[in-house]
Chains A and B, each alone.
Chain A
């Protein structure tokens, strides 16, 4: 069964460093999402992406964050200058339909630890 994959599974970085989290969505999906979950808290929406542009973003997704689909298969989340509070689990998801019409398939997550 097709699945969403994410790399790395765990990333440790120092405050102020740039990190790139990578996701490979399911191949025929067109809608892509990033979510984060701070330890012990609920999952939060970060951004949705379709047709090579951001379709929606949350207030968390500030200028330090960016997303791109560099090669038609990978979908990346970049954090330019990490802060301690960026430590969280980051989940990528993809769907073949948007607007609640399509089920979202989640990747296993990347645990980001900022020290």
Chain B
């Protein structure tokens, strides 16, 4: 079983829809990262969080440490949001990121 599970694996949406991507993990962590991987392969860090909620523009990330679960929300989705969204956790007391398999999002106009 993977230590980091994401759902759904693939997601298709119409422009303007509200998107939720989920991440569950089974290890103790010190932080959780949400990353965006563009079709060309480049990876951009969206959020790093260890508790609560963070917001940046149309993106919101939440984490529930007790439930070992995080969600990434995209409000008013746009075709340019089409990418693979990756959840990665930093295992407690290490400097090693453990990655999920990613959620491929396609937003159509």
Give me the interface of A with B, judged by CB distance under 8 Å. 31, 33, 35, 37, 41-45, 48, 50, 55-56, 58, 89, 91, 98-106, 108-109, 111
Contact = CB atoms under 8 A, between A and B. Distances in A.
16 contacts: A31-B95, A42-B100, A42-B102, A44-B99, A45-B99, A48-B95, A55-B95, A58-B96, A89-B41, A99-B30, A99-B90, A100-B50, A104-B48, A106-B35, A109-B42, A109-B43
Interface size classification for chain B: 20 to 34
State the majority secondary structure of interface residues on B.
strand
Contact of B97 (A37, A45, A101, A111): A45
A22 to B, nearest CB: 17
Nearest to A102: B48
Contacts of B101: 41-42
